[in-house]
Every structure is written in structure tokens, then in C-alpha cells.
Amino acid sequence: MLGTKLSGKVIQNINSTFTGGGVAEILNRMIPLLQQLGVDARWSVIKGDDEFFSVTKKFHNALHGRAEEITERDYAIFQDTGKKNIAETEIYGDIIFVHDPQPIMLVNRKQEIGKKWIWRCHIDVSHANEAVWSFLEPYINKYDSAVFSSPSFSRVLPIRQFLVAPSIDPLSDKNKELPQAMIDSVMAKYGIPNDKPIITQVSRFDYLKDPVGVIEAFKIVKRNMDCCLVLAGGTATDDPEGEKVLAEVREKANNDPDIHILLLPPNSDIEINALQRASTIILQKSLREGFALTVSEALWKAKPVVASAVGGIPLQVKNKFTGLLSYGIEGTAFDLRQLLSNPEYAKWLGTNGREHVRYNFLITRHIKDYMLMFLAQEHSQEMVYL
Amino acid sequence: MNVIFEWLSENWLAVAVPLAVFLATLIAVFWLRAYSFRVLNRWISQAAWPASKILVESTRVPSALWCLFISAGLAISVSKIPSGWKNPINNGMWTLLLISITLTLLNIIGNLITHFSPKLKIPDNLTIVIRNGSRVIILLIAILVLLGIWNVPTAPVLLLIAVIIVVGILALRDIFPNIIAGFQINAAGHIKKGDYVKLGTGEEGYIIEMNWRTTDIRTLEENTVILPNSHLVRSSIINYGHPLKQAQEPFRFYTRVHLTELTGMKARSLRELVDILRTSSDAIVYFHTHHFLEQHHFLTPEPSSDFALWVTEAMGDEALGERLASVDTFSFFDLKSLRDRLVGIIDESLARTTENREAMPGREFYFMKSVVMILPTPYVAHDLRGLAECLRQLSLGSIYFHIFESRLRLGKGLNDFTVWLRDNLGENELGEEISRLDPYTYTLEGLRSQLIQMIEKRIK
């Protein structure tokens, strides 16, 4: 029904690439689904050379809160390419849905062509570099609306802001149901025993995911309970820090046979799915997070989750309802022991978690939110009879 | 004139004999007719068969004509009219008799069908078909007999009739089972117009039309489902019974979907929380007192507001969290009073302490509100049965809208069901009962079950 309310409107998505990266992946899934619902969603990309994209990579990191040295020349490169794209990009939508900072300057055409303009921020800007944010803010303020993935990413802005949390696709390799034989074969492949409880954290080897803290919490738990730990993830090929973190993790594990460190290659979605399904508890002891969809992935598999209250995790884990939130190593260990000792409670949390994801973090909700947001562009009221 | 008298004097026997036969036969057949009617009248007065009167009344006048025709026919037979004249006259006489008998039979059959159709609960359309079918059969037989009287060969006509019958059967082979099923349904009388039925095959609704071939059902979405009668007799049917009192205006169900709007405002401490809350819009107050319920409606209900959760978890103030969680949202009829109560509790707590604790970074309270889009659904209830069945099928979003949103956010002070039951059905008691139901103590599925139970109890 929402689709019919949007009929006749062209939704033009604009980002920087058709392939690679999270935004392209989301749009590749979203656009066909929106079209099937009768929404005329289309997709354009801007152009840019390597220099431009290296600047936008810096912007991206800076907005994530990482220390980046951004020079006046970087800003000039960004603006020059932005101006070229303003001149060259065909704007044909009734609603122009711009993703992330790379095409943000296109909004300068708003005065000329009108239409509704939305800026979708896929980045955790809760600790954004103020200089970069201040540079982007005048452009953001020209949009009709901005969209963020978590309340903590929002700021006081003169335009409307909407919350559209990311989502998981329950039919993707990472989340679909797997036959027990396949789960068993993955566990056998990595030599993980099935005769004791398994605690798993799936995340890349990065200090912000605190894999060393995970091992420390596990060692506290192991004093009283027989269980094993799986740390599964990859390292970014261009991230020298990843190798360092992995080395530290291995050192901390000290060849403990109950600690399984799995360096997974890209496209290991089925393996990750199997590991999550075979686990007794899923851990996400991050120090900083964007949204942390791995939590929704675990909850969708009805697994009890212990996670840090950072980034988008509190949206997914309501403490003591859909999982347990912890703040430190001891707290994490305490929560793990609670769940290992009380399987019924763990099961209840897992069941609640799955329902929570079913209603709030599946791709269907994501699409509904987008359609509502497109409709909201025509209605400024808080209650709208369609 | 003289010629006639002359002819009569010479041939008086040729006239007298047929005349005598005519008169004698006439007297005999009239006597027989009178006797038959006496017997029939006696039988009518004794017999319980209601159609006997139809038989007698329909044959009273034509039978007099039959007497005349029979007498005339016999008289002509014995007369000395030349055979070239005699046979056509004789055949003509039998033809008149046949026409009269045919008309009488048509009349009798028509009256019998009209008389028995309502008693056998045969639908009007089917009655017309049976009546016309009977007429065709009688006319066909009459035509065949007529052809026999006039010595016309009947084989081609019989062949034509056989072909028509075969073609008819082939053409109507799908319709016959439905007609037979229609008979069965009507004769059994298990369902009737106005009943609310649910079929084993999934269709359900009110029966709005039953004819000789199909039964029409109006679904809760106001669609009409046309079911072949043969489908109906093959399926298991739950009949919820006779129509209930119809509402003056039907209840049209709406549903709602919402999108979260961020305000960008956040609080790190209780002081900041209460300062922002004091001047917050109703939409923000509503969001943070209902958001948990909406997002976690599958859980065992915990009437937690976001304020209570945040104060407990991020500020570590369990006592204040408990006080905020125990605010009885149901006792408030508008959001301003609810906000004042929440602000009052936090102010009281702040007055007792000089400590200004702050939440950890990332655990601040973020103020939000929801943009609600209200959409019509195809579901419409005209009576209590319809209301219960719609509630069974509706999305939780619809139930949420009519119970929570309309009461507090739209500021009606009452849920929509109570208002409709009271104003359109005169069901004040049931409406009151629903208005007293505290929806905040149920999960939305639990609330759905509770509402259905209350309505079904009232129907019984």
C-alpha cells in the first residue's frame, strides 16, 4: 500500500560506486525490492578520480573519529570534484537520495531544480572530526532531511532527521537456515569440539573490537566452567594494524586449546553463519561500534548475546530482555557465567532477541522505513492520514 | 329450407344416431365427471396433501370441455360423414382435447411448483428453471402426441430431441453438480442468508446470497466471494449463526506505520533530561512512553518507559527508575498530564540530592519522536461477530492504533472500539468493559486475545 502512495515519484539514489562497499551492497538489495513494491527507485553514481576517493576515504575515517590529517588541498580536491559532478550528474528524481559524503555537494543544485533532497549518513558520526563535520555541515543543512543509523549519530540540525537503522537479510548466506550437517562440517573443518559450550565473537581483528579483552573475560569464565572460545574474523588487507592485533591475540591466547582463532578469508558468510549457529553464546565486546549488525545476525539465530553498550548495540540489545549489556572485562565474564549457568534464561533472551530482530532489524523494516521517509517528505505533520 | 327438411326426412337416421351417441356420451361423461369430483372433494376434505386442491381446481373447468370433446368425437365416429371429412374433423377434435389437456397440465404443474418451492426451500431462480423445464417437457410430449394424431412421422423429432438433450447435458455438465448441491444445501437448511460461516478451505464471511448455482459470501474485507454450491457441500463449514445486531455505521479499521524522527537533543544527566522533557512536544513524550511497548510487544509486558530504562541503566538510579516505570500511563487521558507527572517525579528526586551524575559517553538519552502514517485497511465490521473476526486477522499495528494511539496521541481519551460499541451498536456495557481494560498490562497478542474473548462472551 505504501508503494502505491509513492507511485509516480522517481527516487534517485546517488552514491559513489555501483560495486564494493556497504552502501553499494545495501542499494543492490534495496532497489530491486523497492521496485517490486511499485516504487520507481533508480540509482546513479558520481565520478571521481583516485585523488578524490583518497580524500573521501580520509573524510570517512575522520567522521568515524579516527585521527586523519586533512589539508586545505584535500578540501579543495573534494570541492573541485564536487563542482564537476554538480555540472555533469543528471538529476531526474522527484526525491534525490544522496548517500554518504562523497556526493554531498550535489545539493547545491537544489535551488535551481527544487525537488526533495535527503542525505543518508551511513557513517557513525558520533565522534566525528569537528573540522570535517564543520566542512560538511553547510551542505547537510541544505538538504530537506538527513537520515542516521543510530540516535547517537544525530546532532541538532535545522533540518528534519530520521532514524533508519541498518538491517540484515534473513535469506542471505550469512543468515539463512543451515542444515545441521553443514554446521557440523564447518565445526569439524576448524577443529572446534561440540562437547562443551562455545562462546563466539565474530569481528575483524581490530583494537576497537577488543579481542584481547574477550580472551581475558573468557579466562575468568574458564576458571569455573569448561567451555571454549572462538574468535573469528578477518583483517583488512590495507590495515597493517590488523596483523599486529592478530599477533597480540595469539600471544594472549597462549596456545590454549580451548581458544580457537580463525582468520577467515573474505566471502566466508556460510562459515560465519555456521559458527554463530553452533555457538552457545555470542559475544560482541567492542570498545567502539558503528551499528554492529553482527549482533542482529546472532539474535536472528536466537542466540543469547553479551555485548558492550556502544554504538548501535543498545538498540539491538535491551539489557536483560534481548541480551545482556556489559561495560568491562569483569562484567562481560559475569554475564557469560550467568548465561552458561542458566540455559533457560539464555534461551529466553535468545528467543526474545530473535523476535526483536524480526520486528525491527530485518530488511523488510528497512524498506518500510525508506518508503515512509519518502512519504514524509510531502508531509510535515507528525500524524498523517494517507 | 325445404332442401334441408327434405334431406333430413330422407336421412334422419344419419343425424339421429350421432346425436343420440353425442347426448348419451355427454350425459355419461358428465355424470362420471360429477361423480369423480364428489370423490375428489371428499378426498380433499380428508387428505392432508395440500396440493390436492390445486389438482381439483385446475381441472374443474377444462374437464367440462373434455366431456364435450369426447362426446363430439364419438358422435362423429358413428356419423355417416364421408371419410374424407370425417378423419380431419375427428383429428381436429382430438387435437382440441390434447390442447386442453396440455394447458391444464401446464397449469397444474406450474401451480404445484409454485406451491412446493418455498416449502422445499428451492431458490427463486431454480424454481423458474424447474417450471420452465417442466413446461418444455409437457409441450414436447404434447407435440409428439399431436404428430401421432395427424399421422406425421415422429422419428426425426425424437432424434432432434435426443441431440438437444445430449448437447444440453454436455453444456451443463459443470452446472448440474452445483444445482444438485444447491438442492442439498437448501434442503438441509444448515446455513442460510445472513449467517457468518467459515469454510474449511479458508473462505469466511456473511452469506449474502444463495441461488441455485452459487452462494455469495461477503468477507471482512468487504469483498464478495462467489462459491459454487458443489464447493460448499464438499467443504467443512463452521456456522457462527444468525446475523447479529447491525451497527448504524460500520467500524472501519485503520493501521499505522511509523518512522522515528530524531531531534538531535540529548541528555547526559537527570537535570538535562528533565529540562528538555519539561518543554518537549507531546510527540516526544508519547514516543518515549510507548516506544518500548511498540518495539518489544512480543515480550511479557513490562510497562517501561524509555525514561525509566535510561535512569535505571545509564544513571544507575534504580529507585527513580522504578518510580518512573510504575507511572500508570493508562490513568492519563492526555500527554501533558503524563509529562507533568514524569517531570514531577524527576524534580522530586533531584530536590533530594545535590549529586549531578552523568551518563557514560554513548549512553546519553536521545530524544526522539515518531512520524505516524495512518492507512485504511480493507477490514470492516458491521456487528460484534465481524469485530471479533477482524480482530483475529488484523495486524498488531492496527490494534495498537485503535487502542493506544487514538486514546492518548489523538487525544480521544477512549479507545476506538469503546466509542463505536457505544455510539453505533448500543453495546454500552461491552464498551465500558473494554475501556476499563488496561492495555499496558498485556502484550499486543495478549491484548488481541483478550478483546476477542470479551466480544465472544458478549455474543454468547
Quote ipTM for the complex. Answer: 0.85
pLDDT of residue A236: 57
Residue B181 belongs to a domain: no
Residue type, B456: E
pLDDT bucket at A107, cuts 50 / 70 / 90? very high
pLDDT bucket at A52, cuts 50 / 70 / 90? very high
List strands edge to edge, sheet with B214-218: B224-228, B214-218, B204-210, B196-199, B237-239
Q: pLDDT exceeding 70 applies to what percent of chain A?
A: 98
pLDDT of residue B362: 77
Residues B220 and B282 in one domain: no
Tens digit of pLDDT for each residue in B206-248? Answer: 898 888 789 999 888 888 999 999 888 888 988 887 777 888 9
Residue B86 belongs to a domain: yes
Strand-pairing partners, residue B420, are: none
Residue B179 belongs to a domain: no
Is residue B259 over pLDDT 80?
yes
Question: Is A32 an 8 Å CB contact of chain B?
Answer: no
DSSP A62-109: HHTT------HHHHHHHHHHHHHHHHHS----SEEEEESSTTGGGGGG
Residue B337 belongs to a domain: yes
User: Which residue did the predictor score with more confidence, A208 or B302?
Assistant: A208
Chain B residues touching residue A148 (CB < 8 angstroms): 262
Question: What domain range includes position B78?
Answer: 2-171
Question: Is B276 an 8 Å CB contact of chain A?
Answer: no
pLDDT of residue A237: 53
Question: Is A290 an 8 Å CB contact of chain B?
Answer: no
- Rounded-to-integer distance, Cα A198 and Cα A303, Å: 11
Residues B369 and B299 in one domain: yes
Test A352 with B283 for CB contact under 8 angstroms: no
- Rounded-to-integer distance, Cα A296 and Cα A123, Å: 18
Smallest CA-to-CA distance from B366 within A153, A72, A105, A23 is with A153
- Rounded-to-integer distance, Cα A287 and Cα A267, Å: 25
pLDDT of residue B348: 94
pLDDT of residue B314: 87
Burial class of residue A94 in the structure, from the number of CB atoms within 10 Å of its CB (0-12 exposed, 13-18 middle, 19+ buried): middle
pLDDT of residue B303: 53
Count of domains observed in chain B = 3
Chain A residues touching residue B398 (CB < 8 angstroms): none
Backbone CA torsion sign across B200, B203, B204, B206: negative
Is residue B363 over pLDDT 90?
no
Among B71-75, B342-346, B444-448, the range of highest mean pLDDT: B342-346
Is residue B44 over pLDDT 60?
yes
Q: Which long-range contacts (CB under 8 A, 24 or more apart) does B443-446 make?
A: B443/B297, B443/B298, B443/B299, B443/B300, B443/B301, B444/B297, B444/B298, B444/B396, B444/B399, B444/B400, B445/B297, B445/B298, B445/B396, B446/B301
Test A321 with B368 for CB contact under 8 angstroms: no
pLDDT of residue B302: 59
Q: Which of B121, B138, B171 is the last residue of a domain?
A: B171
Chain B residues touching residue A322 (CB < 8 angstroms): 296
- Rounded-to-integer distance, Cα B3 and Cα B430, Å: 103
Q: How many other CB atoms are there within 10 angstroms of residue B265's CB atom?
A: 17
Q: Where are the alpha helices (DSSP H) in B172-212?
A: 175-188
Residues B305 and B405 in one domain: yes
Q: Which of B142, B171, B200 is the last residue of a domain?
A: B171
Test A162 with B364 for CB contact under 8 angstroms: no
Is residue A238 over pLDDT 70?
no
Please compute the mean of the pLDDT values over residues A159-167 and round it to a whole number: 94
The residue count for chain B: 460
Q: In this structure, what C-alpha cell is assigned to residue A293?
A: 549488525
Partner A, chain B 340-399, Cβ-Cβ below 8 Å: 360, 362-364, 366, 368-375
User: Which residue did the predictor score with more confidence, A386 or A83?
Assistant: A83
| Nearest chain A residue (CA) to B299 | A352
| Nearest chain B residue (CA) to A359 | B295
Residues B56 and B195 in one domain: no
| Nearest chain B residue (CA) to A373 | B259
Residue type, A232: A
pLDDT of residue B181: 87
Among A76-80, B117-121, B168-172, the range of highest mean pLDDT: A76-80
Which contiguous run of DSSP H or E holds residue A41? strand A40-45
Substitution target from B221, B259, B368, B395 for chain A, most A beta carbons within 10 A: B259
pLDDT of residue A386: 85
A193 phi/psi in degrees, rounded to 5: -70, 155
Chain B residues touching residue A163 (CB < 8 angstroms): 259-262, 368
- Rounded-to-integer distance, Cα A27 and Cα A30, Å: 5
| Nearest chain B residue (CA) to A354 | B298
Residues B167 and B204 in one domain: no
Residues B255 and B152 in one domain: no
Strand-pairing partners, residue B196, are: B206
Residues B149 and B289 in one domain: no
Q: Where are the alpha helices (DSSP H) in B189-317?
A: 229-234, 270-278, 282-295, 306-313
pLDDT bucket at B80, cuts 50 / 70 / 90? confident
Residues B81 and B161 in one domain: yes
CA dihedral A171, A173, A176, A180 (to 10 degrees): 160
Residue B437 belongs to a domain: yes
Residues B50 and B116 in one domain: yes
Residue keyed to cell 532477541: A353
pLDDT bucket at A240, cuts 50 / 70 / 90? low
User: Strand locations in B109-213, DSSP E?
Assistant: 196-199, 204-210
Residues B216 and B136 in one domain: no
- Rounded-to-integer distance, Cα B176 and Cα B447, Å: 48
Test B370 with A382 for CB contact under 8 angstroms: yes
Residue keyed to cell 534481548: A322
Question: Is A145 an 8 Å CB contact of chain B?
Answer: no
Burial class of residue A371 in the structure, from the number of CB atoms within 10 Å of its CB (0-12 exposed, 13-18 middle, 19+ buried): buried
Q: What is the mean pLDDT of chain A?
A: 92
Residue B245 belongs to a domain: no
Question: Is B443 an 8 Å CB contact of chain A?
Answer: no
pTM for this entry: 0.72
Kindly report the CATH number assigned to the domain that includes residue B201.
2.30.30.60
Residues B307 and B427 in one domain: yes
List strands edge to edge, sheet with A281-284: A259-263, A228-233, A198-202, A281-284, A305-308, A324-326
Question: Is A218 an 8 Å CB contact of chain B?
Answer: no
Q: Which of B118, B142, B171 is the last residue of a domain?
A: B171
B246 phi/psi in degrees, rounded to 5: -85, 140
Chain A residues touching residue B397 (CB < 8 angstroms): none
Residues B323 and B432 in one domain: yes
- Rounded-to-integer distance, Cα B417 and Cα B414, Å: 8
Which domains, from first to last, does chain A contain?
2-167+362-376 (3.40.50.2000), 180-360 (3.40.50.2000)
**Packed helices B52-78 and B83-119: angle between N→C axes, nearest 10 degrees:** 180
pLDDT bucket at B128, cuts 50 / 70 / 90? confident
pLDDT of residue A167: 92
Residue B185 belongs to a domain: no
Q: Are A15 and A24 in contact (CB under 8 A)?
A: yes
Residue B35 belongs to a domain: yes
